[in-house]
Amino acid sequence: MADRVLLRFMTVTDYEEEEQFLREQHKEGWKLCKYWLPGFYFFDQCEPEDVVYRLDFEQADQCGKTEYLQLYYDYGWEYLFEVNGFTYFRKQAGSEEEEPEIFSDNESRIEMVERVFRRRMIPLLIVFFTCVVPQLVIQFFNWQGGNTSAKGFVIFFTVFFFLYLYLFIHCGQKIRWLKRKYMKE
């Protein structure tokens, strides 16, 4: 089992913060070995080193996975695992003059943001409008109509409603911010 477990909640648009967080942990002598949703980071103790962590999102399909990982390996990146569509890589910093990066131009950085939006945000929006909102309305009227057992559902879907709303606002702003940043750089 891992030597240390930390709980951090990161949304799909917080991957840069996640990379920074993992790098800082490694600098303090904790290397990432496992990650479980929704936010359990498992670390093993190691020599404190400056290691760069990078996350890529759903670039290769299953049949192209081997070649995809081989390419990263050739470039000196260590593959860790894949969670929720994100592939985790790490590489020693400082051996080169420039910071190791998995993307070398802004087009590909923007494409990654757009992939995250298309494949993670849009499905959430669909669930929100076809399930959470209608269910909340239906259960609310059931409850008002005298069905007391509907109260629990109203509370349940209200919690979900605000959780989703928070996610949409947070991720929406983050996506805009990321895209702007990459366009300027």
Cβ proximity to other proteins: between 75 and 81 the closer is: 75
Phi then psi dihedrals of residue 113, to 5 deg:
-60, -40
Strand segments (E) across 58-148 = 78-83, 86-92
Touching other proteins, residues 107-146 (CB under 8 A): 107-108, 111-112
Longest pairwise C-alpha distance within the chain:
70
Among 8-16, 26-34, 100-108, 148-156, the segment contacting other proteins (CB under 8 A): 100-108
CB contact at 8 A, 45 and 3 = yes
Touching other proteins, residues 80-99 (CB under 8 A): 98
Which residue in the set 21, 42, 103, 161 belongs to the binding site for other proteins (CB under 8 A)? 103
Which residue in the set 5, 20, 27, 66 belongs to the binding site for other proteins (CB under 8 A)? 66
Residue 51 makes contact with other proteins by CB under 8 A: no
**What span, in angstroms and rounded, lies between the C-alpha atoms of 57 and 83?**
10
Residue 60 makes contact with other proteins by CB under 8 A: yes
Which residue in the set 101, 131, 144, 155 belongs to the binding site for other proteins (CB under 8 A)? 101
- To the nearest 10 degrees (0 to 180), the angle between helices 133-144 and 150-184 is 160
DSSP class of 28 = T
Tokens coding 153: 């559902």
The residue type of 2 is A
Phi then psi dihedrals of residue 137, to 5 deg:
-65, -50
DSSP class of 62 = G
Tokens coding 35: 């990650």
Residue 41 makes contact with other proteins by CB under 8 A: no
Residue 102 makes contact with other proteins by CB under 8 A: yes
Which residue in the set 47, 62, 74, 145 belongs to the binding site for other proteins (CB under 8 A)? 74
Cβ proximity to other proteins: between 28 and 114 the closer is: 114
Among 73-81, 127-135, 149-157, 176-184, the segment contacting other proteins (CB under 8 A): 73-81
Contact residues for other proteins, defined by CB under 8 A: 54, 56, 59-60, 64, 66-68, 70-72, 74-75, 77, 98, 101-105, 107-108, 111-112
